[in-house]
């Protein structure tokens, strides 16, 4: 178990210190409403390089730049379509990332050499306060992937980040402890490069919500060749084997809505009351199954066209294993 030397409270002083650490080129893991992010100054190549080292992530995978408001769109992006502005107005701050044509500021070390850049305004108050203080120091944006080692489940608490990355961080890095992430799965990623939006990764901002705001029929994602690491088949996987929608048998771990009974001899990891709780707790549930040493985790996934789409996406990836 990693030590807790990096964990910091979220007092005003601690947030100011964290903003200064970012500005000085160090790493700060911070809470967002989706999952915890591992942040670095998005204009500092050396700092961004360390994100890849600490995560063990291939360097051609692009990073999302986190900013305090849509005003920052024009410094990081160009040729922004009207529908992207509508999406930004409707869902920021919130669990949505827009992929836009990059400006000069978005260098190859952020975009993985692509001509586009991902931007997000998170709604978590601690994330926003950290970003605001960073911008007050002259910072322009914080690059942050999920704060897990490459291919692992995203962390939804500071302790999860500590366990994942504690052995890889340096003395001048820190982890802001801001409680449990409220959404629990990563942001909806929407490609806004062409005439119509394309969902690259489903999330809490759903297809229906996007259609309503843009009034545009969503393009088909089939055949897309973008380097989205979330598209790798083996991803988001715990050590425990995840099996979807199968009746659990004795000795297996089980996650399902509270209305579903636990068969005899089955270990119930969690019984969320609704689909939002399900999403919020799913990664912690996978981590718990790992920690308890279960070889198999059965997940009964709720059906629906809302955040259920994102849930089944992540669970299918987890079920593909390592
Ligand atoms: O909710 C989230 O989005 C979290 C929090 C911390 O903001 N971040 C997150 O980052 O999930 P990450 O790096 O773990 O996943 C972002 C995904 C990656 O699959 C990356 O390849 C893709 O977004 N991405 C980033 N920039 C891109 C771009 N310009 N074009 C296509 N995909 C991009
Ligand atoms: Mg990730």
Local structure of residue 112 (DSSP, 8 states): T
Contacts of 139 (CB under 8 A, 6+ apart): 19, 22, 23, 41, 43
Mean pLDDT, residues 43-66 taken together: 95
> Do residues 87 and 190 touch, judged by C-beta distance below 8 A?
yes
pLDDT at 232: 47
Mean pLDDT (the chain, rounded): 93
Q: Which run of H or E residues covers position 244?
A: strand 241-244
Give the dihedral of Cα atoms 10, 12, 18, 24; nearest 10 deg.
Answer: 180
pLDDT at 58: 87
> 188 forms bridges with which residues in the sheet?
96
Q: For 169-212, how does the pLDDT look when each residue is reduced to its tens digit (9 = 90+)?
A: 999 999 999 999 999 999 999 999 999 999 999 999 999 999 99
Which atom of ligand 1 lies at the shortest distance from residue 230's CA?
19
Does the pLDDT of residue 5 top 80, yes or no? no
The number of the ligand nearest the C-alpha atom of 229 reads 1
The protein residue whose alpha carbon is closest to atom 31 in ligand 1 is 228
pLDDT at 309: 95
Residues near ion ligand 2 (Cβ under 5 Å): 146
How far, in Å, is the centroid of ligand 2 from the Cα of 148? 7
Mean pLDDT, residues 148-174 taken together: 95
Q: Is residue 236 left, alpha or beta, with left meaning phi > 0 and alpha meaning psi from -120 to 50?
A: left
Indicate the top mutation candidate among 228, 231, 307, 313 to test ligand 1's pocket, ranked by most ligand atoms within 8 A of CB: 228
Question: Could you tell me the pTM of the whole model?
Answer: 0.95
Does the pLDDT of residue 223 top 50, yes or no? no
Residue 321: which pLDDT band, with cuts at 50, 70 and 90? confident
Mean pLDDT, residues 223-245 taken together: 65
Q: For 21-35, how does the pLDDT look when each residue is reduced to its tens digit (9 = 90+)?
A: 999 999 999 999 999
> Do residues 55 and 46 touch, judged by C-beta distance below 8 A?
no
Does the pLDDT of residue 2 top 60, yes or no? no
Residue 236: which pLDDT band, with cuts at 50, 70 and 90? confident
Angle 202-206-211 (CA atoms, 0-180°, nearest 5)?
120
Which range (48-52, 73-77, 103-107, 234-238) has the least confidence? 234-238
CA dist., res. 193 & res. 186, Å (int): 21
Please count the CA atoms within 13 angstroms of the CA of 280 that sit on its side-chain side.
14
H helices then E strands: how many in the chain?
A: 10, 14
């Amino acid at each position: 178990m990693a030590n807790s030397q990096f964990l910091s409270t979220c007092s005003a002083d601690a947030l100011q210190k964290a903003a200064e650490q970012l500005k000085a080129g160090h790493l700060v893991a911070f809470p967002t409403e989706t999952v915890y992010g591992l942040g670095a100054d998005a204009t500092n190549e050396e700092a961004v390089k360390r994100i890849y080292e600490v995560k063990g992530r291939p360097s051609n995978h692009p990073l999302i730049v986190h900013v305090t408001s849509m005003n920052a769109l024009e410094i990081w992006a160009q040729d922004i379509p009207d529908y992207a502005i509508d999406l930004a107005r409707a869902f920021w701050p919130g669990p949505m990332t827009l992929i836009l044509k990059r400006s000069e500021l978005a260098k190859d070390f952020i975009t993985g050499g692509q001509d586009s850049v991902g931007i997000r305004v998170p709604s978590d108050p601690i994330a926003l306060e950290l970003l605001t203080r960073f911008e007050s120091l002259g910072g322009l944006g914080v690059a942050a992937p999920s704060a897990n080692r490459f291919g692992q489940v995203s962390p939804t608490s500071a302790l999860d980040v500590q366990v994942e990355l504690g052995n890889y961080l340096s003395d001048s890095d820190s982890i802001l402890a801001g409680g449990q992430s409220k959404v629990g799965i990563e942001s909806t990623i929407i490609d806004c490069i062409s005439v119509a939006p394309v969902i690259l990764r489903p999330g809490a901002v759903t297809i229906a919500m996007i259609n309503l705001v843009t009034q545009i029929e969503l393009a088909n994602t089939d055949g897309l060749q973008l380097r989205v690491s979330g598209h790798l088949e083996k991803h988001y996987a715990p050590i425990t084997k995840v099996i979807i929608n199968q009746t659990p048998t004795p000795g297996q771990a089980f996650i399902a809505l509270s209305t579903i009974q636990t068969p005899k001899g089955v270990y119930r990891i969690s019984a969320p009351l609704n689909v939002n709780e399900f999403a919020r707790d799913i990664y912690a549930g996978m981590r718990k199954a790992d920690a308890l040493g279960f070889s198999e985790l059965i997940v009964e996934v709720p059906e629906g066209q809302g955040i259920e789409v994102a849930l089944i996406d992540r669970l299918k990836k987890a079920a593909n294993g390592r």
